């Protein structure tokens, strides 16, 4: 990244691929942000910039690099690749951390568990300009995509027909709505909707507050 790229990012403001941080906090908090970008579309974390785009700069270049490396290698599972740039702007140093979208999703906060536990794993994603914990549905989708587990043959049953009929009227459906609609557990409703996504029948959407809903694939 060069100085012009940095200025352009600052002008655009925070979004799904850019996060501003006034200062460094802890490796765990940095790891959460890095995981969110890796699990979504990749992006940049700019240290030394306030939420209102005010440039504050950072202090110790060496300690910052060590903290970022610690976060990526010891607090992310699997560990993340990243790139650091140091850029001077208006007499202040800004640290840019680039995290590419991963081909090994989902990454989670290090929990030292041998096997992935979907009920306990902390998996972060980006939603607009925020990093937030991914739902079980989103995690299942990421794991299926990583394993190339797209459903080639999928039988449309009664529950799926109910989903399409509901969407024809309401345009969107949630796990809870499907659970109530056909009187099944939310866990079963969740798995049904995830399978329909894997069969390219539905699309998942996440609101700013983390709530999710599903619409028909166009």
Distances (CA, A) of 74 to 36, 81, 109, 133: 16, 12, 9, 19
Q: Taking Cα atoms as reference points, which of 24, 44, 46, 29 lies closest to residue 99?
A: 44
What pLDDT sits at residue 54?
93
Q: Is the pLDDT of residue 147 over 90?
A: no
pLDDT in tens, 152-206: 677 889 999 999 999 999 999 999 999 999 999 999 999 999 999 988 899 999 9
Structural domain ending residue among the three candidates 102, 133, 164: 133
Are 196 and 151 in contact by the 8 Å Cβ rule? The answer is no
Q: What gap in Å lies between CA 75 and CA 83, rounded to an integer? A: 17
Same domain, yes or no: 10 and 101: yes
Q: Is the pLDDT of residue 150 over 70?
A: no
What pLDDT sits at residue 135?
92
Are 65 and 93 in contact by the 8 Å Cβ rule? The answer is no
Q: What range does the domain containing 60 cover? A: 3-133
SS3 category, 212: strand
What pLDDT sits at residue 151?
66
Is residue 36 very low, low, confident or very high in pLDDT (cuts 50, 70, 90)?
A: very high
Same domain, yes or no: 111 and 155: no
Task: Flag whether 138 is in a domain.
Answer: no
Same domain, yes or no: 11 and 118: yes
Q: Is the pLDDT of residue 53 over 80?
A: yes
Same domain, yes or no: 129 and 148: no
Structural domain ending residue among the three candidates 88, 109, 133: 133
Q: What angle do CA 32, 60, 21 make, to 5 degrees?
A: 35
60 or 16, higher pLDDT: 16
Report the CATH number that the domain containing residue 163 is assigned in CATH: 1.10.10.10
Structural domain ending residue among the three candidates 95, 115, 133: 133
Q: Is the pLDDT of residue 10 over 70?
A: yes
Q: Is the pLDDT of residue 216 over 80?
A: yes
Q: Is the pLDDT of residue 70 over 80?
A: yes
């Amino acid at each position: 990244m060069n100085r012009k790229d940095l200025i352009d990012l600052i002008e655009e403001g925070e979004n799904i691929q850019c996060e501003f941080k006034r200062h460094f906090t802890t490796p765990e908090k940095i790891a959460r942000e890095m995981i969110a970008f890796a699990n979504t579309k990749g992006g940049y974390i700019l240290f030394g910039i306030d939420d209102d785009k005010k440039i504050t700069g950072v202090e110790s270049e060496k300690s910052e690099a060590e903290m970022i490396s610690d976060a990526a290698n010891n607090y992310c599972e699997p560990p993340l690749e990243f790139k650091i740039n140091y850029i001077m702007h208006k007499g202040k140093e800004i640290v840019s951390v680039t995290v590419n979208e991963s081909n090994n999703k989902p990454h989670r906060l290090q929990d030292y568990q041998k096997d992935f536990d979907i009920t306990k794993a902390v998996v972060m994603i980006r939603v607009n300009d925020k990093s937030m914990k991914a739902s079980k549905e989103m995690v299942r989708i990421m794991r299926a995509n990583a394993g190339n587990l797209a459903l080639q043959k999928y039988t449309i049953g009664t529950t799926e027909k109910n989903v399409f009929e509901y969407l024809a009227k309401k345009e969107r459906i949630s796990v809870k709505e499907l659970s109530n609609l056909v009187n099944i557990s939310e866990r079963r409703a969740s798995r049904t909707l995830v399978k329909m996504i894997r069969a390219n029948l539905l699309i998942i959407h996440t609101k700013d507050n983390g709530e999710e809903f599903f619409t028909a694939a166009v």
